[in-house]
C-alpha cells in the first residue's frame, strides 16, 4: 500500500503540470468563458455531441451562465483554469 501512495504523490504534481491532457476539453472550457463567443457559436462547436433538444438547451444554459458574468469574474475563472503547479509553494 505504501508504494502505491508514494507513486501517487510523485505522479500528482506531474499530472497537474500536464494540464487536463485533453486539448478539446480545454478548448470547450475556453470558449465557454470567452465573452466574445456567442451561444450560437458555442452550440455549433459542440454540435457533434448534441443528440437532442434537452442537450442543446443545457449547452445554451451553460454558455448563458458565463455570458452573465462580469469581466472580472471571467478573468478569475480563466486564472483558476490555468493552474500551474510550479506556481504553488508545496511546503
Cα 48–Cα 77–Cα 47 angle in degrees, nearest 5: 10
**How confident is the model over 10-56, as pLDDT tens digits?**
554 555 555 555 778 878 888 998 999 999 999 999 999 999 999 99
pLDDT score at 52: 92
The single-letter DSSP state of residue 18 is T
What pTM does this model have?
0.64
**How confident is the model over 1-12, as pLDDT tens digits?**
455 555 555 554
pLDDT score at 76: 86
pLDDT score at 23: 77
The single-letter DSSP state of residue 89 is -
Amino acid at each position: 500500500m505504501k508504494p502505491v501512495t508514494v507513486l501517487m504523490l510523485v505522479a500528482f504534481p506531474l499530472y497537474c503540470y500536464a494540464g487536463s491532457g485533453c486539448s478539446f476539453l480545454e478548448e470547450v472550457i475556453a470558449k465557454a468563458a470567452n465573452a466574445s463567443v456567442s451561444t450560437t457559436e458555442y452550440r455549433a462547436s459542440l454540435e457533434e455531441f448534441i443528440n437532442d433538444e434537452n442537450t442543446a438547451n443545457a449547452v445554451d444554459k451553460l454558455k448563458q451562465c458565463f455570458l452573465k458574468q462580469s469581466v472580472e469574474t471571467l478573468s478569475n475563472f480563466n486564472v483558476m483554469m490555468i493552474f500551474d503547479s510550479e506556481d504553488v509553494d508545496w511546503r
